[in-house]
């Protein structure tokens, strides 16, 4: 009687059943499947998941385990040892996984693949997290792109290879019970975890939560995305970023769902604008693939001599949302209480830190990494470098987001500020973004005492802007 082959499917940033190329291929092969997730924080070093990410991961893994009928083997240890040991001890025939972009994941994958192939074990890897595989995209001369628009329009949209259409959830899976698998030198992966001090009711981690978030976006916000995406008080964005980061939904599923909903003979402007934001996610991953030191090193090396510093008191004021600039403070408090921050406000808070406070962008990057539920190495590092001016296709350094002007433009009635900085709620709209400009009687009537109930500004916007421009010129660039 023939023996049914068996395959180990290694889950990482693909915590879903639908449109999971590795899982789909294993199911199509007819093999018995051992589903494995391995916590390997040591390999990530300084980039092990932050508090908010660990909470989301623990919830998402629980949902995945439920979808797999309680047959997800969750271990903690070194995958380079655990996976070959599991293959040997269980007599498995093959190992499938979806590739990751993070440098330590790529090194780990190469090591495991070489070891398995040397033992005549079949290895199959897939692109399950991006629309376009980074090695397949290059400029005509073969070099990697460094500017977003030609990368997205020419390298991606005009390369003649459309994104892969989403794969269905496997109709059936012959799953191997974790009880049949030895620990292979590892230890059980689950452990008690204290969730972060955020409003957890705002989020529904897991594949079902991702699907519902996409449905909500497609039913309303996508059709006004272009005009509402920058308004932090309005539910004008998809809020899919944590679901995409943990692979509870694939960009392919999002891509084709948006195109289906927003095309009537031609893709709508709102749909095209949203898909270009998915393109920015692709670009960030592409940059990390070609620049593994992106999280730590200025992409434009002239910024190595930029006089960034760290003033602890200013840094703490920024972290606590006590800078005296309401839009900045609202953003930092949104982050602290929800594990999230609206993208427009992310740009403003980041610009304020690195330009008005001349603080090293890596300090802000690490704070976001610790507190964001959607903390993603590629997006986080590329975005901080973009704002700081030292990255690829970066914002010019002389583009310094004025938090007062940004607040008046994108939160004109102060609804966002009033939600997260309630001590200013009674101020008139005219002063909600600049309480330091309000007359004494207006402040008194609103119950605001600067320096007591709400802080005085930690810096002067005009002089700090000039200091930033002077520092920028010290790198040898001209504004």
* Residue range 307-324, pLDDT digits in tens: 998 899 999 999 999 999
CA distance 416 to 407: 9
Establish whether 361 is a catalytic residue. yes
Q: How confident is the model at residue 198 (pLDDT cuts 50, 70, 90)?
A: confident
Q: The pTM is what?
A: 0.95
Establish whether 384 is a catalytic residue. yes
* Residue range 245-287, pLDDT digits in tens: 999 999 999 999 999 999 988 999 999 999 999 999 999 999 9
Q: Are 250 and 166 in contact (CB under 8 A)?
A: yes
Q: Which of 280, 367, 369, 386 is catalytic?
A: 280
Q: Which of 132, 384, 386, 402 is catalytic?
A: 384
Establish whether 98 is a catalytic residue. no
Q: Which of 55, 361, 369, 386 is catalytic?
A: 361
Q: Which of 81, 104, 122, 277 is catalytic?
A: 277
Architecture of the domain defined by 130-163+205-290:
Alpha Horseshoe (1.25)
Establish whether 367 is a catalytic residue. no
For the chain, domain boundaries: 1-129, 130-163+205-290, 301-473
Q: Which of 104, 322, 343, 370 is catalytic?
A: 343
Establish whether 380 is a catalytic residue. no
* Residue range 203-234, pLDDT digits in tens: 999 999 999 999 999 999 999 999 999 999 99
Q: Which of 81, 104, 122, 308 is catalytic?
A: 308
Establish whether 308 is a catalytic residue. yes
Whether the CA torsion 246, 251, 253, 255 is positive or negative: it is positive
- What CATH number belongs to 301-473? 1.10.579.10
CATH of 1-129, picked from 3.40.50.300, 3.40.30.10, 3.40.50.620, 3.40.50.2000, is: 3.40.50.620
């Amino acid at each position: 009687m023939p023996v049914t082959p068996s395959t180990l499917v290694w889950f990482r940033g693909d915590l879903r059943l639908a449109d999971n190329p590795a899982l789909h291929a294993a199911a199509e092969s007819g093999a018995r499947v051992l589903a494995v997730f391995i916590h390997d924080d040591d390999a990530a070093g300084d980039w092990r998941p932050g508090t908010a990410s660990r909470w989301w991961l623990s919830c998402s893994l629980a949902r995945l385990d439920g979808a797999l009928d309680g047959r997800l083997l969750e271990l903690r240890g070194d995958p380079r040892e655990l996976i070959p040991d599991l293959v040997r001890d269980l007599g498995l025939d093959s190992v499938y996984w979806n590739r990751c972009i993070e440098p330590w994941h790529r090194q780990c994958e190469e090591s495991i693949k070489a070891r398995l192939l040397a033992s005549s074990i079949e290895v199959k890897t897939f692109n399950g997290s991006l629309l376009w595989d980074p090695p397949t995209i290059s400029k005509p001369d073969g070099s990697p792109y460094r500017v977003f628009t030609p990368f997205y329009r020419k390298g991606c949209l005009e390369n003649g290879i459309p994104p892969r259409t989403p794969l269905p959830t496997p109709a059936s899976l012959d799953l191997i019970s974790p009880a049949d698998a030895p620990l292979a030198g590892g230890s059980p992966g689950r452990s008690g975890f204290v969730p972060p001090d955020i409003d957890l009711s705002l989020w529904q981690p897991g594949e079902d939560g991702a699907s519902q978030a996409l449905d909500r976006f497609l039913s309303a916000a996508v059709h006004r995305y272009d005009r509402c995406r920058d308004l932090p008080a309005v539910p004008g964005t998809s809020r899919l970023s944590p679901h995409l980061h943990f692979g509870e939904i694939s960009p392919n599923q999002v891509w084709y769902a948006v195109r289906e909903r927003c095309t009537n003979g031609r893709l709508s402007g709102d749909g095209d604008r949203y898909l270009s934001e998915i393109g920015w996610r692709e670009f960030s991953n592409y940059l990390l693939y070609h620049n593994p030191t992106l999280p730590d090193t200025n992409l434009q090396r002239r910024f190595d001599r930029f006089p960034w510093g760290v003033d602890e008191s200013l840094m703490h004021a920024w972290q606590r949302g006590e800078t005296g600039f309401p839009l900045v403070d609202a953003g930092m408090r949104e982050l602290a209480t929800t594990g999230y921050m609206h993208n427009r406000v992310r740009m403003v808070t980041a610009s304020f830190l690195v330009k008005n406070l001349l603080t090293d962008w890596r300090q802000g990057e690490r704070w976001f990494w610790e507190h964001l539920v959607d903390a993603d190495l590629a997006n986080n590092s590329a975005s901080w470098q973009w704002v700081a001016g030292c990255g690829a296709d970066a914002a010019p350094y002389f583009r310094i987001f004025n938090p007062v002007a940004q607040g008046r433009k994108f939160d004109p009635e102060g609804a966002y500020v009033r939600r997260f900085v309630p001590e200013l709620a009674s101020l008139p709209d005219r002063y909600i973004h600049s309480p330091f400009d309000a007359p004494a009687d207006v402040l008194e009537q609103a119950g605001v005492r600067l320096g007591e109930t709400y802080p005085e500004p930690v810096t002067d916007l005009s002089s700090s802007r000039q200091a930033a421009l002077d520092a920028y010129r010290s790198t040898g660039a001209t504004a």
